[in-house]
Each structure stands twice: as structure tokens, then as C-alpha cells.
Amino acid sequence: MNLILLGPPGAGKGTQAAMIVEKYNIPHISTGDIFRENIKNGTKLGKKAKAYMDKGELVPDSLVIEIAEDRLRKEDCKEGFLLDGFPRTVEQAVALDAFLADEGKKVDHVLDIDVDKPELLKRITGRRVCQACGATFHVTGMPPKVEGVCDKCGGELIQRADDTVETAENRIEVYNSQTKPLLDYYDRAGNIAHLDGAIGKDNLFVKITEILGE
């Protein structure tokens, strides 16, 4: 089963992705995670990506397509995958369809999670991430037991550079202008489901499993 998860920053894609991966036993491919890993390790790709991500801008299509296709060739993707953060533009979607067609595959389902802007800003700006293990918390939604300290490993919790109000607003604007045309693209393809991201993570997952099947 080849899946794509769409939705603006803060829509809860990461939470749903973890639940989907556990239930359906397919790899979660997040281009954001791949880029962050490269940034952490100081690779050439990481340095290129960081300049864009710190400003809340999208990494150029050519760079994203290259890294996504390389990941999709890996052995663990043979039985399916969940793409999160890719494609983000129609150009990337067209490249993905062409790549999959060459492999004798296609996109089975596109899941679009929609949340309004005030709720997105609240979610994004309240997010805190552990510097050591990467665990995610939220100042109101899922606070740590001790403020600023990770429950899992005791590491320091920080606000990511792209989780400030200014950058969050820019990320949402970038999503709306560049990624929303994707919804029309997949509407025409007839393989997209539009989901209300404000109904709570468990209710949302029930809706997703109804679409994907048991």
C-alpha cells in the first residue's frame, strides 16, 4: 500500500503517520526527518537544506525529488510506504508518479488533513523537541512532567527555529500557495480523501482506517 499524507505544518501528520506505520507495517518516509538528519550530521545536502528550512521556505524541487527517489529505492519500500512531506508541489507529484510508473507501482491513497490557521499556530508555537532523543512535547497539549526536561531521556527541550510565530506563519503561507494545488491534482486523480484534523487524533485515525481498510 503506497500512501501520501498531506496537510499544513502542525496538522498532526507525524502523530497519524506513527499510528499508520504501526498498524500497516510500512516505512514512514518523512523528507523533513531526512533533511534534519543531514543537517545534524553537517552533510553537504544538510547545509543546503538548512538555509531554506530556517526561513520556513521549501527546499527546491530538484533536491527533494532526488532524496525521495533514492529513499524509495530501498528494500523496505518494496511492499509499500507512507510519504510525509513529499510531494509538496505539483512538479514533485508528477515526478513521483513517473518514478512509480517506471517501477510498476502507483499511489494508492492520499490522506489530506485539514486544520484552520489559528489552531495550527497554537500547535506549532507550543511544540518543544528534545535535543538529545528527538521526542516531541507541547506546552499545553502534552507538557513534560518537568518544564524544559524530556520525560524519556532527561535531555533539554527546545523550540525549533522553524516553530516560532513568524516562521510558522510563513510556513503556513508557503503551504497554502505552493502545496494546495496538489489537492486539485489528486482530486483529478480521484485517490484523495479530505479529513478534518480538528476531531482529535483517535477519531481521525478511525476515519483513516475506514479508508485504508483493516
By annotation, the residues acting in catalysis are 13, 88, 127, 160, 171
Q: For residue 160, what are the CA distances in angstroms to 18, 125, 173, 205?
A: 20, 9, 18, 27
Eight-class DSSP state of 58: P
Phi, psi of 186 (to 5 degrees): -80, -25
- β-bridge pairing 136-138 and 28-30: unpaired
What does the block give as the cell for 94?
Answer: 508528477
What does the block give as the cell for 160?
Answer: 525549533
Pick from 7, 20, 30, 2: nearest CA to 208: 20
State the greatest distance between any 2 C-alpha atoms of the chain, in Å, as a whole number: 51
Eight-class DSSP state of 146: B
Q: What distance in Å separates the CA atoms of residue 139 and residue 126, rounded to the nearest whole number?
A: 5
